[in-house]
Amino acid sequence: MTSRWIGSALVIVILAGACVQLGRWQLHRLAEREARNGVTRSNLAAPPAKLSEIVGADRVVGEQHDWRTAVVTGRYDASKQIVVRYRNVNDRPGFEIVTPLVLTDGTALLVDRGFLARQGGELAPATIPPVPTGEVTVTGRLRRSEHGGHTTGGTPVDGTARLINGPDYASALDLKLYDGYLAVDQQQPPADPAFGKFPGPEIDDGPHFFYALQWFFFALLAIGGLVYFSRQDLQDKDALAAEQADGEAGPEPDVADRNRSATAVGVSDGSPPPPEP
């Protein structure tokens, strides 16, 4: 119970506790992902419906609406079209073209019209398929607004952006936009064939369970290491103490030493030496 070992034990216990909490956090994320996957499967299986029947009056596409198939009718506003850069579809870098669709009630919904693969090192698509004129009916998957943490890529600058974010676009484009967007699946009149299709959602549990096991293993390893090295230290100290005790007692003289001592004593007092054995 030295101060060194007490301090080491406290540090290791704290680290082990942190590992346990991180493992529990990964299990919590796993539960969230499983719940989200359940909603996604349900929305993918739901029949198409009008936008007003899916999203409420707050015009917010929430997690409960993600990947739901909606049908909207309106007119594209080509003057406020946005090129979304740094996109990747099926491991191919490129751009996505987002155009506001103005609805009959004066509100607007961002429509991701499709993906254009990047050609060489171009910073913007060389040609963009024209926006259909007149009334358009779009069927697609509702998606939530994208958020990039501390980045500001959701605000369009010079007709380009890095994220698709309804509130950020609304202030920049001066439109009453829904908080969310629609990824085109079908369109009447038909969309330009130059646009690539969007992949579906990834529905799996991810690595969270195995990450949780790793964190729990680290906690056990830390506690086990503390026990092992503390016992090893005690054994080393016991062995050292035993060696010191043997050194203080001194080695026991052997028979020859005792005989030589007796001979020396006999010569010194004039007595004859003892007979040889």
CA 238 vs CA 82, 228, 232, 242, 247: distances in Å? 76, 15, 10, 6, 14
DSSP conformational letter for 276: P
Which tens digits make up the pLDDT trace of 133-188? 999 999 999 999 998 765 566 789 999 999 999 999 999 999 999 999 999 999 99
pLDDT confidence of residue 163? 95
A 10 A CB-CB count for 34 gives 13
Q: Which amino acid is at 27?
A: L
In the chain, the N- to C-terminal Cα span, in Å, equals 57
Percent of the chain whose pLDDT exceeds 90: 57
Q: pTM of the entire structure?
A: 0.71
Of 99, 72, 225, 247, nearest to 161 by C-alpha is 99
Tokens matching residue 199: 């992949």
**229 in Cβ contact with 5 (< 8 Å):** no
Which tens digits make up the pLDDT trace of 99-148? 999 999 999 999 999 999 998 888 889 899 999 999 999 999 999 999 87
Is the previous residue joined to 201 through a cis bond, with omega within 30 degrees of 0? no
pLDDT confidence of residue 224? 87
What is the Rg, in whole angstroms, of the alpha carbon atoms belonging to the chain?
39
Tell me which of 240 and 275 has the higher pLDDT. 240
Average the pLDDT over 205-231 and give the result: 88
